[in-house]
Structure 1
Amino acid sequence: MYQLRPSTERDQAHILEIWREAVDATHDFLTDVDRAAIECEVSTLFAQVNLLLAVDNSDTPQGFMFLHEGHLEALFVDPTRHGQGIGKALVQRALADHPQLTTDVNEQNIQALAFYKRMGFECTGRSPCDGQGRPYPLLHLQHRSSGEPVLAAGNGTTN
């Protein structure tokens, strides 16, 4: 069983370790240089923002999310815990507060894209680069409960 709680300063090292392990397991498309640069960026960001953690019975973080103004900026789960409902619990919590939840996912991250589709997200657009201009295309997703028309990726048609 997992509990959800806000992160504290004492969680920072563990959060960064979850991020590293999750990225290593799912982001094999990143160059070593880009991965190092992104790690530096997220370590600074995660220390400055409020994250929601999924913790086990010993209060050890197993996953986390960063939600900002109805946009899921980050969702990472310890890869040894994938498939155990941690990501689902975090997304459901976000949806409870933000039914029109949006997020972005690397197009090459097939595992994450499949997860978000199972959770009810649909593609609303695509960017050829990530938010820092790196050549990693992003798919823009929105939860289908929003009632908004959803565009299929790449063809500009409404589903």
Structure 2
Amino acid sequence: MTHAHGATIRAYSATDRDRLADIWLEASRVGHPFLGEARLLDQQANVREDYLPQAENWVIELDGRTVGFIGLLDNDFIGGLFIDPACHGRGLGKALVLHAARLKGALDVEVYADNGPALVFYRRLGFAETQRHDQDEEERPLQVVRMRRPA
């Protein structure tokens, strides 16, 4: 599917795995610097080997180059939305979320409370906070905000 800004969204292929893991790392360095570089590098391997093969992923390309992806878990949960930082601010993340919403209807997401830009981004797309947790999934003392966008 081609969008007005010239981007194309397509289904994930196993050949995308390394590029998407690299995008994940670069975007996570921007959005999650509080996790630290060593933790991000460890998580990148998990993203490449475990997360990407298990999720329903949609890839966005700009001028034929892969620049981001959204990964859906359990049908309607956004497990990850990552855009190459060089392409931030072009509506690519919004295009991926709206694509997922067209496919799935209502969507849920969890965002670190320390990732202010992500909270603003999801609120602008109609997500509202439904819960807060004082620890992340690895029981680190990092507050996580759960948000939902109705169908």
Establish whether TM, by shorter chain, passes 0.5.
yes
- Cα pair 2:76 2:106 within 8 Å, conserved: yes
- Cα pair 2:134 2:141 within 8 Å, conserved: yes
Residue 93 of structure 1 is matched in structure 2 by 99
Superposition deviation, residue 120 in structure 1: 0.8
Q: Which runs of 4+ in 1 moved over 4 A?
A: none
Match of 2:36 among 31, 37, 41: 31
Residue 18 (str. 1) matches residue 23 (str. 2): yes
Matches of 1:113 and 1:72, distance apart in 2:
14
Superposition deviation, residue 35 in structure 1: 2.2
More strand per residue: 1 or 2?
2
Structure with higher Rg: it is 1
The residue correspondences of 1:118-129 to structure 2 (distance < 5 A) are: 118-129=124-135
Matches of 1:105 and 1:47, distance apart in 2:
19
TM superposition score normalised by structure 1: 0.84
Name stretches of at least 5 consecutive residues in structure 2 with no aligned partner.
Answer: 1-5
State how many pairs are aligned: 144
Residue 74 of structure 1 is matched in structure 2 by 80
Q: Which amino acid aligns with 1:136?
A: L
Match of 1:109 among 111, 115, 119: 115
TM superposition score normalised by structure 2: 0.88
Instruction: Please say which of residues 5-14 and 100-109 is displaced more in the overlay.
Output: 5-14
Residue 51 (str. 1) matches residue 57 (str. 2): yes
Q: Aligned-residue CA RMSD in angstroms?
A: 1.5
Q: Percent identity?
A: 28
